[in-house]
Structure 1
Amino acid sequence: MITGETPGTALLLAAAPRGKGRLINATSALSTLAAVPPGSLTQASAGTIIELADPVDQQTVLTRIRAAAAAPGPLSLFLAGQLHLDPRQHRLHLALAGTTSATVRYTGLPWPWLADELKPRRPHTTRVIVDLVAAPDAWQQIRAYGLTLGTGASLHGRVAAPLSRHRPAEPAYLRAVATIWRSGLTPPLADLHAKAAFQTGHAEALFLASDATAAPWPRTAPAPVAMDEDPLTVVFAAAHAGRHGEAAVLAARCEGRAVGLHGPGSPEAIHWLEVRADLAHVAGDPAGSCELWMAAAAARLARRQAMDAPDVVGAVDRAHHQWQQLRDPRRAQELGPGLAALRRRVPGARPGAVEAVQRRLELLHSTPMPHVPDARA
């Protein structure tokens, strides 16, 4: 327990089957995360950090997740482990220490259970950061349909195919996240994800970057885009028809394919990141759009594009515009420091842009935040 004023909760869950079925050294992520400043884990100046290392019983894990989800403050859930497919119901499960391919239905944690526990939480209070390896059958499903958690939480991280039968993978993505935090940096989540993905990407990995929105979660995944259809046309047709959840899933899938084929931080991956930023704007989610445009700008700068390059300036300008549209002072205050840092690097063509961000930030800090009632009350 960390003492302080505003409590948050961080649940660190690392699990993988014992013996030959282990595809990732999941628990090695815990020691790395334990060295991170507690506030980075809990998103608050005070809070509780819970570690679950190689748990065996699915009901025990569910109980811990349920208790963490019931906490009123911000919740961060860090998952390191592996995913398997139930051969009967074709549902994804997070394997636990006692899971085998024959018992996954009874000994693993069904992924929909996790989504259901997080769904009732207040918007923008929950983040899930994952570093997962998917068994071959699960990998094929995730490659085809993506991996989501619905509207209850933002989901960022990496899902990878197994390296080999004889060499478990390492949770390199979570280690990269921890290293960034240990260096003293606290970038916005989208920027943090972009940096970690850039450091740990490889051809057989899918990177996840989805934010919780008010759009409904489709119970069945949208059909894949055919090789004779322009994916961009299909995505924006869905968006303009009001099917924002479907459009977001399709765009995230296209981004994942681009990352898999060309690598994180590639022009192709950045293109789809910017498409997702546009989709968030169309869906009326300025906070999500701002985060994604900031991530796109950071990714272009990481490719050593010039600070006055039109694509870089355009991304920062759009992030700034979306931030100005935010009416939620808490979200504006959360995103403001990251935008201010970008604006100092990329001031743009309009004079006074840096000062404008700073003035609004000062105003936000001097204005009392409105009380937000607990949705569970």
Structure 2
Amino acid sequence: MGNDRSGTGAETVSGPGYALLLAAGPVGKQRLMDAAAALPQLAAVSPAALLGTPGGASVVQLVDPVDPQTVLTHLRTAAAHPGPVLVHLAGQLTLDAKQRLPHLALARTTPRTARYTALPWHWLAAELGRRPPGSTVVVADLVADETAWPPLSTAGPSALAAGLTLYGTVAPAPPKRRLATPDYSRAFAGLLRSAAERPPLALLHQRATLEAGLGPGPELLLDGAGVDGTGSGEAYPPPDAAPWAGRTEQSAPLGATGQAISAEQTGETRQTEAAGPSGAAGPAGAAGQNGVTGATRAAGPVAASPPMPPGPPESFRPADQPPVPPALRAPAPPPPGWAPVADPLASTHAAIFEAANAGRHSEAASMAAAWEQEALRTAGPRSDEAIHWLEVRADLSRIAGDPARACELWLAVADARLGNGEPAEHPEVEGAVDRAHHQWQFVADRVRAGALAPLLIELRGRVPGRRPGALEAVRRRAELLRAPARTR
């Protein structure tokens, strides 16, 4: 079990796991979600499957707590656990009236008392953010009330994911007199109950999103991409630098959805030109933020983002010949007599990979995540556009030095393409499995590599590729990973 932080290269924590399942919400008319309905399905999942820990796990349920200090105590218990930790949250987000910071509403929370009766989100981030990289994941199935949804939908998923590996969904409040249902949690639990072994989290999230019918709507999808590329995470901003404080003055909306993501504050001022969702040029960092200066420019009209043209097929290659992903391939020259067709996303891709190759992995990941969110909303989770940005994120993980994350994302690409009906011998399906296999060879952590092995074996059985013996090679290494580690 890992927390999937891009670029850490750190080993994951092994041993028995610990899961904290929290379902919370105000009593009475202020309640927006039937949060407790998420727990029966999750409780039916075996602890080993829930955590991905063969050694088992402890599972604690917390339903409609009243006091934020009680929740904090449970969070500290989870944070102190030496093994893998999963925290599942079902409920609703609100802002406190004074500092305008996000809080998880509890049983006694009202709009006027949120500061004292709800759990501040930065408490959660602070407690879990101190844990070792590769040890923690947060799964959230949330709705945001009328105070929290406008700034959150503008800031995007990264506003909640600072320092956390965060999967799940945040939706706007349902119509009056209706309660939202935790459909994502139910799908997540159902997939875990039916799987022989737990899939990688990126793939599990993608499948749960599809099962729950999410993606085309206004909800935000939290796909684990909002963490810092170095693995250290960015501390949750202090009250006077809240992610949405003065948002209308500091950032312009990205696309028709109103999403914006700020550039990482790296201590330098940059102005790299990148195309916005309409194809028009705008500063890199997504949504037009100019480095750390806070200067912005408004985005123009938005059109759906076309996918990057796929490249030629590739066969599986040995470790010393890494395959070139679609995002970095040179475009083929046009036929004689044809005028070249401009790629409307060329400058966007150039800016993203320029940042990644310069070591600014968090900045590159933020830009790619913003474009993926746009594709998910406008075209759906299994559209060509969404799959393309999944491929881009996979290659960014490779550049950041996180082969496990890259493998996981390439497996998700292959699964999505096969789910779309593409045949096993399709070049893009073969290429995705080949790249997953290639990256898997570099996963040094035995626990993480062993967790990825079953799905890779399953996909290799369906997509053998063009290199003889690829499936047998995966099986041999998987057997070695299952053998006890030798000690000197």
Give me the TM-score of the superposition, normalised by structure 1.
Answer: 0.90
> 1:180: which partner in 2?
191
Moved more, 146-155 or 230-239: 146-155
Q: Is the 8 A contact 1:176 1:196 kept in 2?
A: yes
1-structure distance, mates of 2:195, 2:233: 36
Partner of residue 39 from structure 1, selected from 38, 48, 56:
48
Report matched runs for 1:324-363 at 5 Å: 324-363=441-480
Unaligned runs of 5+ in 2: 1-13, 238-242, 244-261, 264-284, 289-298, 301-344
Partner of residue 191 from structure 1, selected from 188, 195, 203:
203
Partner of residue 80 from structure 2, selected from 70, 78, 87:
70
Output the amino acid matched with 1:12: L
Report matched runs for 1:1-377 at 5 Å: 6-44=15-53, 45-148=55-158, 153-185=164-196, 186-200=198-212, 201=214, 202-210=216-224, 214-218=230-234, 221-222=262-263, 224-226=286-288, 227=299, 230-368=347-485
2-structure distance, mates of 1:57, 1:331: 37
Pair member with larger Rg? 2
Helix, strand or coil at the partner of 1:78: strand
Question: What is the RMSD computed on CA atoms of the aligned residues?
Answer: 2.3
Say if 1:294 and 1:184 are closer, same or farther in 2 by CA, change over 3 A.
Answer: closer
Helix, strand or coil at the partner of 1:167: coil
Q: Is the 8 A contact 2:355 2:364 kept in 1?
A: yes
Say if 1:90 and 1:253 are closer, same or farther in 2 by CA, change over 3 A.
Answer: farther
Give me the TM-score of the superposition, normalised by structure 2.
Answer: 0.71
1-structure distance, mates of 2:105, 2:121: 10
1:230-282 deviations in Å (ceiling 9; x for gaps)? 54333323222322112212222221222122222222211111111111111
Q: CA deviation at 1:328?
A: 2.0
Q: Say how many residue pairs are matched.
A: 367
Q: CA deviation at 1:370?
A: 6.8
Say if 1:279 and 1:145 are closer, same or farther in 2 by CA, change over 3 A.
Answer: farther
1-structure distance, mates of 2:105, 2:41: 21
1:299-345 deviations in Å (ceiling 9; x for gaps)? 11111211111111111111111111122222211211121111111
Moved more, 186-195 or 230-239: 230-239
Output the amino acid matched with 1:16: G
Q: CA deviation at 1:119?
A: 1.5
Q: Which has the higher contact order (CA 8 A, sep 6+)?
A: 2
Q: Is the 8 A contact 2:20 2:86 kept in 1?
A: yes
Output the amino acid matched with 2:402: D
Say if 1:286 and 1:370 are closer, same or farther in 2 by CA, change over 3 A.
Answer: farther
1-structure distance, mates of 2:164, 2:458: 26
> 1:375: which partner in 2?
none
Q: Is the 8 A contact 1:123 1:153 kept in 2?
A: no
Output the amino acid matched with 2:222: L
2-structure distance, mates of 1:137, 1:262: 28
Helix, strand or coil at the partner of 2:441: helix
1-structure distance, mates of 2:120, 2:354: 33
1-structure distance, mates of 2:370, 2:147: 18
2-structure distance, mates of 1:138, 1:291: 32
Q: CA deviation at 1:151?
A: 7.3
Unaligned runs of 5+ in 1: 372-377
* Structure ranking higher in helix proportion: 1
